[in-house]
Amino acid sequence: WSWAEWGGIAAALIVGVLAGGAGVSGLQDQPQLAAMSGGTLLAQGELADALTTQLAGAGAQDAPVKIGVSFEAKDGGYCRSFMMGAAAGLACRNGTEWKVPVMAQAVKGAAGEYRQAGSVMPPMILDAIDERITGQTLDAKAEEAARAREWKR
């Protein structure tokens, strides 16, 4: 088995878990992710649009995608955490595309419980951020500047 085949299996499992969690009827409401050759998930549709244009914490309360934190990655690109429905993930910019290396089921809080945006992220996503981040998360001004440069450094 090659790494590409193992990657494809992993991507299929992630998509299957997310699809099962969302339910068949909820799939049409979810932003689309596509599995590409080699098993790499790429953001498309509403998810890609939100990652490209939406500032962290600026989305409407009922927005399908909510952006968590944005940061400069050790590889020289930008990464952003996000929540969509019952899923949470991390997307990193690669040229003109957002690769999604990590997704997990979002952590649910008690009804009406106040929680900071970062606290609902699953530990798997937080660990992925810690592995990739260089420096601090972007503040609003730095995030606007990165967006203006089309997330290129």
89 vs 18, 111, 148, CA distance in Å? 11, 22, 23
Residue 131, pLDDT above cutoff 90? yes
Per-residue pLDDT tens for 19-29? 555 433 333 34
Give the mean pLDDT of 49-70: 88
Share of the chain above pLDDT 70, in %: 71
For 112, phi then psi, to 5°, come to 75, 0
pLDDT at 9 over 80: no
Confidence (pLDDT) at 114 = 38
